[in-house]
Amino acid sequence: MHFSTLSLRPHRSRDAHASNAEPAPEAGTPAGTGRRRGRRALAVIAGATVVVLAGAGAAVADAHKNITLDVDGQTRTVSTFAGSVAGLLDAQDVAVGSRDTVSVGGALRDGSTIVVRHARMITVLRDGVQQVVWTTALTADEALETLDARAGDVALVASRSTPGGRLELPLDLALDGPAQVLVDGATRQAPEAQVSVGQALAALDVVLGPLDEVTVRHGADGVQVVVTRVVVQDVTVTGEVAYASSTVDDPARYVGTRKVVTAGVAGVRTQVQRVTTADGVERSRVTLSDQVTSAPVDEVVAVGTKARPVAAAQPAASDAVAASASSGGLNWAALAGCESGGRVDAVSSNGKYYGLYQFSLSTWAGVGGSGLPSQASAQEQTERAQALYDRSGVGQWPACGPRLFS
């Protein structure tokens, strides 16, 4: 069959409001295609040209005709003497825009059918990105079929931009067969009639929250209306702020010693975050405020700078005792060996007796000693032991005293 095209001047276009907008991709399929029985998916034509399927040249008739006129699925029979498709559409006040399609099966004669499909601008979600496209499809099912053929993972986005915030998708759900509604973790059957998204949800008593999202997609069993519950809430999150540590010199402490004089305390950081969840899964998180609500307390450590004393060389205990013994005539070395093992700095296990001769502090002070006996030299300890012996005798050392006479 020979095909010819007829160029029609757009007349009172229904999409004139979008003519100055950024052009959007066009969705549609060639006439006669479709996955389901009885469906006609019509191609979107760029420019002001419509396709006329003609069997023999121009679509002109010179007599009265009864024509079937199908405009967006609404069919009526019209009586006309028009000799062209454009004349008939003009007489019937059917406007054709640059994105609309018109088709005629054969020449314009009695009994012909003219099919007009007006393009609609719809929002789609493709791979997570929203964009606007034009389609001549009559239903969401038909639009999805065309879009699915171009790219997978496509959904139609219902809008609440209408007055009153009504949910709107400028297409019915399906040409034939039921639609499903997926909401709150359940799959529910929508009415089988070609109804709008809003009507389907109302029939199932699905109440939408102010932020809920509604999309339409193809599922395994047909069209699915998916309701996503969106919740936005502000949450308070606290975290720890680390404290710093510093040192100060302490001349009262010996070199090599340290002491924490101010304990460090961590501070508190408080953030207010706006969290958006979709069906309970976090979608985004934005920090609204961030401040330190409790300042940290820095740690301070004192470090000793005082030099340690250098002990003077001490004569061996046995030499000092021996020297004293020779002058006193007694064996002070033997007494020291019995009392302390001959150790100048010896301290008893109970901490009460000190030095070579195990002086108590009161006895040591009584013979003129100061400080600890174990910190005095061997010579001083022996001299004060001799003074004690001269004053009180060997009874000061009841266990080891007889060693003086060995």
Q: What is the pLDDT along the chain (406 residues), one digit of tens a residue?
A: 333 333 333 333 333 333 333 344 444 333 333 333 333 333 333 333 344 443 333 444 357 888 888 888 888 998 888 888 888 888 888 888 888 888 887 677 888 888 998 888 888 877 778 888 888 878 777 788 777 766 567 888 887 766 655 667 777 777 666 788 989 999 998 877 667 788 888 888 888 888 888 888 887 777 888 999 999 999 999 999 999 999 999 998 888 888 999 999 999 999 999 999 999 999 999 999 999 999 999 999 999 898 877 644 444 445 544 444 443 678 888 889 999 999 999 998 888 999 999 999 989 988 888 889 999 999 999 989 988 888 888 888 888 888 888 7
Radius of gyration of the chain (CA): 53
Cβ atoms of residues 260 and 307 within 8 Å? no
Its CATH architecture, for the domain 233-306, is Single Sheet (2.20)
Go through the chain and tell me how many residues it has. Answer: 406
Q: CB within 8 A of 375, min separation 6: which ones?
A: 345
Q: How far apart are CA 226 and CA 230, in angstroms?
A: 12
The amino acid sitting at 400 is: C
C-alpha to C-alpha distances, 127 to 148, 151, 152, 247, nearest whole angstrom = 12, 9, 8, 58
Amino acid 308: pLDDT:
75
Q: How many CA atoms lie within 13 A of 79 on its CB side?
A: 1
Give the pLDDT confidence score for residue 355 in this predicted structure.
Answer: 92
Helix or strand run (H / E) with residue 203: helix 197-203
Q: What is the pLDDT at residue 191?
A: 78
Q: Domain coordinates of the chain in residue numbers? A: 1-138, 158-228, 233-306, 317-405
Supply the pLDDT for residue 401.
Answer: 84
| 293-347 pLDDT, tens digit each | 999 999 999 998 988 776 444 444 455 444 444 436 788 888 899 999 999 999 9
pLDDT of residue 140: 79
Distance (Å, rounded) from C-alpha 102 to C-alpha 78?
A: 16
Kindly report the CATH number that applies to the domain delimited by 317-405: 1.10.530.10
195 touches 140 (CB < 8 A): no
Residue 162 confidence (pLDDT): 61
Whole-prediction pTM:
0.50
Q: What is the mean pLDDT of the chain?
A: 77
pLDDT of residue 31: 36
Q: Alpha-carbon distance 360 to 362, whole Å?
A: 5
Q: Write the CB contacts of 86 (distance below 8 Å, at least 6 apart in sequence).
A: 6, 8, 9, 11
User: What is the C-alpha to C-alpha distance for residues 283 and 231, in angstroms, rounded to an integer?
Assistant: 10
